């Protein structure tokens, strides 16, 4: 049984199907894995399996007649959500009033009584006022869903006070609400929050599987192959690439530029950071593709280091660089000032030589 909605992750889909069909489905899940691997798609898959009316016929008098027949059906864990009933359609359209995504910004913001409270659409964190709104919401019954779902993305962005308040809600989960925490950096979550959640590790998907998934969705084979290759195991990114091929840019050209900047003098990095910041204002897609190229660049060096004569300093430099990339993506998403964010990222990158040799690497600039 493989979901037509999620690319890859057949084992996770099977697990979610079994959980959703169980007597007491878990009320807090943590989808941990890199951005673009399909974490949110899996949460939506869980929402469908919890709410589809064909899988869970309403228990009215009329439906109980039908129950005689439904006992002949295979158990819900081995059936697919229909995709046609009202809950399925609303969920698939992203329009279900009980499926709510909470992230940094204004969603669910609820000021304290009598407090004047400016809006904060560009906030970096999920704030305590939003958690108040969340608790308020959870106290009420869903509008119409069997199980309301709150997707918290990214879940590692709670402020301290907010995290502790969320924890209380997770400790006494209301029966009608399911929390799906999504995070690329689960180590940044409170241990006590992690321990309340059923953790699902979402790993990169094999390239061939992504390619096949794109072809199944009607993309041409050549485009599917290129998008799958450029996505490096992340079906979500692959879909974006297939829909906007210009995002892939000229990867070879980008990687060459990465190598040049990484080997060049410090001042060149500042010039490059300024250039990124200027272009960021007009063409975010292109810059995100460029950041992807940087990630590919450091991952490749990390792989070379692991398979060859590695030196710890060099590997640490690559890891540091990859971490800086994760940070800059989060910063850009939170609308911080772009130029200092790019500068910081570039300063965290170790300097490399174009003909790599372990001894020739100097420490990070920072």
Rounded Cα gap, residues 211 and 2, in angstroms: 16
Interacting residue with Zn ion among 6, 42, 44, 129 (CB under 5 A): 129
Helix (H) / strand (E) element for 315: namely helix 312-333
Rounded Cα gap, residues 38 and 54, in angstroms: 25
Among 210, 161, 149, which Cα is nearest to 6's?
A: 210
Other residues' Cβ atoms within 10 Å of the Cβ of residue 117: 12
Which stretch in 129-137, 181-189, 241-249, 347-355 sits in contact with Zn ion by CB under 5 A? 129-137
> Which C-beta is closer to Zn ion: that of 41 or that of 348?
41
> Would you say 268 and 275 are in contact if contact means Cβ atoms under 8 Å apart?
no
Site for Zn ion in 131-150 (CB under 5 A): none
CB of 183 to Zn ion, least distance (A): 22
> Would you say 114 and 141 are in contact if contact means Cβ atoms under 8 Å apart?
no
Classify strands 148-152 and 28-32 as parallel, antiparallel or unpaired.
unpaired
> Which C-beta is closer to Zn ion: that of 18 or that of 277?
18
Interacting residue with Zn ion among 2, 21, 82, 316 (CB under 5 A): 82
Which stretch in 125-133, 215-223, 301-309, 345-353 sits in contact with Zn ion by CB under 5 A? 125-133
Which stretch in 49-57, 159-167, 247-255, 304-312 sits in contact with Zn ion by CB under 5 A? 49-57
- Sheet holding 28-32: strands in order across? 99-102, 148-152, 177-183, 28-32, 198-201
Rounded Cα gap, residues 305 and 292, in angstroms: 20
> Would you say 81 and 53 are in contact if contact means Cβ atoms under 8 Å apart?
no
Which stretch in 128-136, 199-207, 256-264, 352-360 sits in contact with Zn ion by CB under 5 A? 128-136
Per CB under 5 A, 52 contacts Zn ion: yes
Per CB under 5 A, 50 contacts Zn ion: no
Interacting residue with Zn ion among 28, 108, 109, 345 (CB under 5 A): 109
CB of 106 to Zn ion, least distance (A): 7
CB of 45 to Zn ion, least distance (A): 12
Per CB under 5 A, 88 contacts Zn ion: yes
Site for Zn ion in 220-279 (CB under 5 A): none
Binding site for Zn ion (CB under 5 A): 52, 54, 81-82, 85, 88, 109, 129
């Amino acid at each position: 049984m493989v979901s037509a909605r999620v690319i890859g992750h057949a084992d996770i889909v099977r697990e979610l199907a079994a959980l959703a069909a169980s007597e007491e489905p878990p009320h807090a899940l943590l989808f941990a894995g890199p951005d673009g691997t399909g974490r949110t798609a899996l949460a939506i898959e869980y929402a469908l399996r919890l709410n589809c009316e064909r899988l869970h016929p309403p228990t009215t008098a009329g439906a109980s007649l039908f129950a005689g027949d439904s006992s002949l059906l295979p158990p819900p864990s081995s059936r697919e959500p229909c995709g046609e009933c009202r809950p399925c359609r609303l969920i698939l359209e992203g329009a279900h009033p009980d499926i709510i995504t909470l992230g940094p910004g204004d969603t669910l913001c609820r000021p304290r009584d009598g407090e004047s409270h400016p809006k904060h659409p560009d906030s970096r964190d999920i704030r305590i006022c939003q958690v108040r709104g969340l608790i308020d919401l959870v106290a009420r019954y869903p509008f119409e869903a069997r199980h309301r779902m709150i997707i918290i993305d990214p879940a590692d962005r709670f402020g301290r006070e907010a995290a502790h308040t969320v924890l209380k809600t997770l400790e006494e989960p209301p029966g009608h609400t399911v929390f799906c925490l999504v995070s690329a950096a689960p180590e940044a979550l409170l241990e006590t929050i992690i321990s309340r959640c059923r953790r699902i590790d979402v790993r990169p998907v094999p390239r061939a599987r992504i390619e096949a998934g794109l072809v199944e969705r009607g993309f041409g084979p050549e485009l599917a192959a290129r998008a799958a290759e450029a996505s490096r195991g992340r079906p979500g990114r692959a879909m974006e690439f297939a829909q906007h091929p210009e995002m892939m840019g000229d990867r070879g050209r980008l990687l060459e530029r990465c190598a040049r900047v990484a080997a060049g003098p410090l001042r060149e990095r500042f010039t490059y950071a300024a250039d990124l910041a200027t272009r960021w204002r007009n063409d975010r897609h292109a810059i995100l593709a460029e950041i992807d190229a940087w990630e590919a660049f450091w991952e490749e060096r990390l792989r070379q280091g692991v398979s060859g004569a590695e030196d710890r300093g060099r590997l640490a430099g690559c890891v540091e660089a990859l971490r800086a990339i994760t940070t800059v993506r989060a910063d850009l998403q939170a609308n911080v000032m772009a130029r200092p964010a790019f500068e910081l990222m570039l300063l965290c990158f170790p300097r490399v030589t174009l003909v790599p040799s372990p001894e020739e690497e100097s420490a990070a600039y920072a």
